[in-house]
Structure 1
């Protein structure tokens, strides 16, 4: 199996074998004499870096697509736009941040520059920017206002910077990589802490008809030097694209994958290519990191998935879509199929021409927040009598609301049964599970059962991977005794949190 040695070498420089313990690494080699069992053992001990763990625990990130396209009513600009069109007369970054914070989002990503090349900050590299607009007399700086609002309200801040630039005359030449590095340096040095840098795979022609050979390694090194804790997403070594922009993740989602999933050509082939925000294929059903795949791998790495989707049909604001905003119920379903499938949800919420998040979007986010809060407000542990497991250790850790504590099994036990007795018969239709990924991702198969006095143990739901978080909806069952069976695991399984809930 071939893999991108340049990317891998750069990866190893950028991640000097980060560990949570002496036995766990972010990356491991697989050698020809490794047995299947030793490969499984290695895979079970691969863990996230501190930055990747912080990112995973965000769960919800907002994407702000805002720029010259907002004013031309387009999804995809050509770089020939008149900058004077950009004039968000009621621009209010705090309204953006307070809106998403109230809905439970913990980080934002702003499209500092999209493919049209229009910059939302007064860059020194181009006149195709806010400095050439009438907004605030040419003295406006969207990036600064959004970053400062994030800092004020304790929300993470990230930037999307399009490698493809349809306005830059040097695009398609070696000089463009210097041009791009200058833009990236401005963003990384002028706006405080940057928590995420987001690159997509679009690589079309510039104004001169040429395509660009991107110097990704140079960009990665720059980011590591200037913002070392930032994660680099999609066309980067920290976070991968889940493979579809529907908000639907994989039913089986491994964060530990062969390193060839980091190869730039593989990422680009699955990314935007010639159509803006239009994947070539739906990769939802393609399992990454299965036993069959890791047995053939030359190395394994922690490379978690991000699931992106827009709250509207488009990614930039269009007045005609004000009645097509996803409802709170739809967003709740997406939460289950993204965060609840071991991913982070990147939800696009495009501000309008006035520079505000529209009322329809605000209302939908409020409904989503209320639904989520209602579902998880009744703590399962308040109903418990006891928890038992014949080969388990630290059973109470599963219901203590402390992610860093966890249940596990006796050494060598890769299967277990955990019985939960509750105070009185209750009805449930949602299961929550979390592994302690600081130890590794291990669970391969599980099932939840309810005890029926007449029929015995009945399966309520079942699944494969868990990872940071797994949420499963199932037909409502009622009982006072439930059991979780871990049927298969790579080394001893861990469970940080277990919960049963009822959704109306």
Structure 2
């Protein structure tokens, strides 16, 4: 077990994974033929002539995302129906066959330029499943077609931060099931956009296991390598009937990284979770859902569970037939951003000092307050339990404490926060993993001294940041 724990503690993310997680919160845009047919999944037989968003304003989309505090935006450039939001050279089933912009439009370009203008990262979703393309099901021919379209998106629209691959797979027009050549897709992305992360059916970011915004209490970024293969092999195994490997670990499992799990794994990888959900019940716009936009409390709940629980938050925003994000959605996004900024506007621990029961030379406790992502407190190697006492210098009123581990590892398994009242320590919060970020909410408390007790960790904990906030200030 000691060897396994040492191994798990030293699994690290790539630079692209680090940068992706540091975005924390970004948007998803589902828009296309389905918007005009009031459907979630199109058949691929819809007439391109119905696509005509006469008031489309990509800058309105991006500004709405920015108001919520998002740092990026992923556009569904092609959904399962096969309709392309850019004038692809490889099909006529695209915006060039629609009346929008007199057939001269390129929505991917408009969104990428709007993102660049407002300082947001731009990402692309390209559905491997294509219900319109006649070569679908003829695996070699369709894989070539798909890579040609992928190449267009990766070379004509500037820097891409995320390539989002869906795992849906269906019958082709010829009655054959398509076998996706995932490895060649990945190679093409690495070649053309080496800094881009690939999500869900990709090697960099994994699906959280649901689309409802539910988050795990313990979200591990260090997981068995088999989990990365689950979606890909689940598709391939439809033909081979060999599902044992794919089924060993699944994205929906609640425990993906405990000691029990990693002890049984052959290999461990860094594979962080992304929580994706929609601001409405549907992923595409439906007028009947105008009064069903998630409440501020619902969105904050997902934010705390994802960004505040060692995951990333991908929130879908479906523009309407005008080509605008609906007023109700825009209003809610602004409220969400205002609330997040209000809660975390002032760190009450900037002048704090700390004393630890254990310290490693060069990694003193006060490194938690220096606002440097590359410094951290750590005890001597092999010390898996430790305690730190924080002095805020004066009594402060607070109800949020934010902890972050060193960004190149995840080690803490269990911790407790307390505050000092007179001569006694009283409980504030008990948690399991920390990882990239753990937002700990507690009752409004007035205290000068806070104590962090790490009762279980891997090899030795590494805490990079300790911040304190009052949401009502």
**Counterparts in 2 of 1:75 and 1:502: CA distance versus 1, 3 Å:** same
Structure 2 residue 261 is matched with structure 1 residue 296: no
The CA deviation string for residues 455-481 of structure 1, in whole angstroms up to 9 with x for no partner, is: x22221111111101112233333322
Matched position secondary structure for 1:345: strand
- The structural deviation recorded for 1:390 is 2.7
Q: Which residue is 1:389 aligned to?
A: 356
Matched position secondary structure for 1:407: coil
- Give 1:23-422 correspondences, 5 Å limit: 36-174=1-139, 175-265=141-231, 268=234, 286-382=254-350, 384=352, 386-392=353-359, 393-422=363-392
The CA deviation string for residues 294-316 of structure 1, in whole angstroms up to 9 with x for no partner, is: 11211111111100010111101
Query: 2:53 touches 2:322 (CA, 8 Å); kept in 1?
Result: yes
**Counterparts in 2 of 1:381 and 1:475: CA distance versus 1, 3 Å:** closer
| Cα-Cα RMSD | 1.9
- The structural deviation recorded for 1:268 is 4.7
Query: 2:137 touches 2:173 (CA, 8 Å); kept in 1?
Result: no
Q: Which residue is 2:407 aligned to?
A: 437
**Counterparts in 2 of 1:227 and 1:282: CA distance versus 1, 3 Å:** closer
Q: Give me the whole-angstrom Cα distance separating, in 1, the residues matched to 2:330 and 2:72.
A: 17
**Counterparts in 2 of 1:336 and 1:282: CA distance versus 1, 3 Å:** farther
Q: Give me the whole-angstrom Cα distance separating, in 2, the residues matched to 1:119 and 1:345.
A: 26
Q: Which residue is 1:469 aligned to?
A: 437
TM-score normalised over the length of structure 1: 0.87
Q: Give me the whole-angstrom Cα distance separating, in 1, the residues matched to 2:294 and 2:374.
A: 34
- The structural deviation recorded for 1:400 is 2.6
Q: Give me the whole-angstrom Cα distance separating, in 2, the residues matched to 1:478 and 1:92.
A: 47
- The structural deviation recorded for 1:210 is 2.8
- The structural deviation recorded for 1:494 is 1.0
TM-score normalised over the length of structure 2: 0.92
Q: Which residue is 2:397 aligned to?
A: 427
- The structural deviation recorded for 1:353 is 1.1
The CA deviation string for residues 422-453 of structure 1, in whole angstroms up to 9 with x for no partner, is: 34443333221100122x11111100012232
Query: 2:52 touches 2:98 (CA, 8 Å); kept in 1?
Result: yes
Q: Give me the whole-angstrom Cα distance separating, in 1, the residues matched to 2:154 and 2:317.
A: 23
Q: Give me the whole-angstrom Cα distance separating, in 1, the residues matched to 2:251 and 2:202.
A: 18
Query: 1:328 touches 1:366 (CA, 8 Å); kept in 2?
Result: no
Unpaired runs of 5+ residues, structure 1, are 1-35, 270-280
Query: 1:201 touches 1:267 (CA, 8 Å); kept in 2?
Result: no
Unpaired runs of 5+ residues, structure 2, are 236-248
The CA deviation string for residues 253-294 of structure 1, in whole angstroms up to 9 with x for no partner, is: 11011100111447758xxxxxxxxxxx99666111111111
Q: Which residue is 1:19 aligned to?
A: none
**Counterparts in 2 of 1:247 and 1:437: CA distance versus 1, 3 Å:** same
| Corresponding residue pairs, total | 455
Q: Give me the whole-angstrom Cα distance separating, in 2, the residues matched to 1:267 and 1:197.
A: 19
- The structural deviation recorded for 1:207 is 3.2
The CA deviation string for residues 307-333 of structure 1, in whole angstroms up to 9 with x for no partner, is: 001011110111111111113332222
Q: Give me the whole-angstrom Cα distance separating, in 2, the residues matched to 1:171 and 1:283.
A: 27
The CA deviation string for residues 396-431 of structure 1, in whole angstroms up to 9 with x for no partner, is: 221233322211113332221111223444333322
Q: Give me the whole-angstrom Cα distance separating, in 2, the residues matched to 1:344 and 1:478.
A: 31
Q: Give me the whole-angstrom Cα distance separating, in 1, the residues matched to 2:234 and 2:124.
A: 19
Q: Give me the whole-angstrom Cα distance separating, in 1, the residues matched to 2:37 and 2:174.
A: 23
- The structural deviation recorded for 1:369 is 0.8
Query: 1:261 touches 1:267 (CA, 8 Å); kept in 2?
Result: no
Range 254-263 or range 289-298, more displaced: 289-298
